[in-house]
Amino acid sequence: MTIDELLDEHTTEIAALTRRLLGHLAAATDWSETRVYAGWHGVGLHHVDLGYVVGIFPRADSVRVLFEHGHMLGEAPYLDGSGQTRFVDFECWDDARLATVDDLLDRALSV
């Protein structure tokens, strides 16, 4: 499955937000691979040295940016979840939430 096929199931707004977030995160570091997970309905970004770090999961009315080892990243605004993973949900492009994601990504890449 391709990213386009995954996003075909979503509104134009959610598809565009997903692509924009994916582009932002993909430009942030040296990713070795982007994988589409049809079963999980998301896209995972795998770092050259660290493996799976972050995923983007489009939903009916939002897009979730999920950190695989979020429990190790500490507290942050907009960060939610329990167990191993933590996430930030976007209903639209939001610079404050994006700043949180950028900070969390920096933390995740330095673990």
Q: Taking all residues of the chain, what is their mean pLDDT, rounded to a whole number?
A: 95
pLDDT averaged per 10 residues in sequence order, the chain, 111 residues: 95 98 90 92 94 96 97 96 96 97 95 76
3-state secondary structure of 27: coil
Domain boundaries, the chain: 3-110
48-65 pLDDT, tens digit per residue, is: 889 999 999 999 999 999
pTM score, two decimals?
0.95
